[in-house]
Amino acid sequence: MKQHPFNRLIRFGQQFLPGLLLLVAVQTYGQGTLPPQTSAAKPVVTTTTTVGLDSMIFDFNRDIAVQLIPFEDIYQMALKYSSVVKFEGGIASAQQAAYQLSKLQILQNMSGFANYSTGNQAILSTGSAINDHLGQISNGYRAGVNIGISLHDLFGRPQQIRLARANYESALERQRTSQIGLKKELFNLYQDLQLSQRILQIRLRDEQVALTAFRIAEVELQKGKITPEAHAFNSSRYANTQSSVEESKSEFTKNIYALELLVGVPIYQLKRN
């Protein structure tokens, strides 16, 4: 008996349709298990090894002690231009002047005079209008000194002199104390400046390592060797190292300007030629 073509088409569908549906299901399941590979956004890569300060450049890779003049020269310059030391020096000079003045105040009780007189003094001396040579004794030049000494000058003046001397000596000691304090503060700042540079150099190297790890992780992510979570960890670590580098740069720059303010001269005058 000859089969109708429509019946043969139905029988063909019954034989091959289950296999076709199974193949489609497997393909759909396989596509769902593979995560989509998307390239993560690249952070801005900036690596700086120098920082600009006004018209000069400090190299992070060179020791700052080599780029600046010796410490003793910086200290001598600070003694000359520091406002604190100049203020204490002015007070010491004022106390010295007061001490010298206290020793000379005794002279205010002394005075000198000089005059000249001429004419006929006979009427005053003899009561007559005749010429009297003895009556002319008051004629001519006269000069002298008036001296008056009070009890205060005898007993109080020495105490005032000792007081002025003590104030002057204390002003000198305070000036020396300010110089010692300046040297201590300058030395601490000088050490902080070197320390901030060394920390900055360490963090710059750490930034380079983090950048290399980030780029490798980015390539491996595109190849499907690592998960996005692992790549995010490397990206976060690189961002943290960048933040640390910027903080170190800021600390280094602040120490540079603090040195300029403490010494009292522009920073370029402290640079070694």
Q: What is the DSSP letter of 150?
A: -
Residue 70: predicted pLDDT:
93
Rounded CA separation 101/191 (Å): 45
In this structure, what token pair is assigned to residue 265? 């001269």
Task: Name the amino acid, one letter, at 143.
Answer: A
Q: What is the pLDDT along the chain (273 residues), one digit of tens a residue?
A: 444 444 554 454 455 444 444 343 334 333 333 334 444 334 333 334 444 444 346 777 788 989 999 999 999 999 999 888 999 999 999 999 999 988 888 787 778 878 777 665 555 555 555 555 555 556 677 788 777 778 777 788 889 899 999 999 999 999 999 999 999 999 999 999 999 999 999 999 999 999 999 999 999 999 888 888 888 998 999 999 999 999 999 999 899 999 999 999 988 888 887
Q: What is the pLDDT of residue 15?
A: 52
How far apart are alpha carbons 22 and 34 in whole angstroms? 19
pLDDT of residue 142: 75
Phi, psi dihedral angles at 113 (to 5 degrees): -145, 160
Amino acid 184: pLDDT: 95
Domains of the chain from N-terminus onward: 43-110+148-270 (1.20.1600.10)
**What's the burial of 217, exposed, middle or buried (CB within 10 Å: 0-12/13-18/19+)?**
buried
- Give me the pLDDT at residue 122, please: 55
Instruction: Give the Cα separation of 8 and 16 in Å (integer).
Output: 13
Whose tokens are 């522009």? That residue is: 266
**Residue 36's pLDDT is what?**
40
d(CA 257, CA 54): 11
H, E, C per residue of the chain: CCCCHHHHHHHHHHHHHHHHHHHHHHHHHHHHHCCCCCCCCCCCCCCCCEEEECCEEEECCCCHHHHECCHHHHHHHHHHHCHHHHHHHHHHHHHHHHHHHHHHHHHHHEEEEEEEECCCCHHHHHCCCCCCHHHHHHCEEEEEEEECCCHHHHHCHHHHHHHHHHHHHHHHHHHHHHHHHHHHHHHHHHHHHHHHHHHHHHHHHHHHHHHHHHHHHHHHHHHCCCCHHHHHHHHHHHHHHHHHHHHHHHHHHHHHHHHHHHHCCCHHHHECC
- Write out the H or E segment, with its range, that includes residue 53: strand 50-53
Q: If you ran DSSP here, which 8-state letter would residue 51 be given?
A: E
pLDDT of residue 30: 38
In this predicted structure, what is the pLDDT of residue 8?
Answer: 52
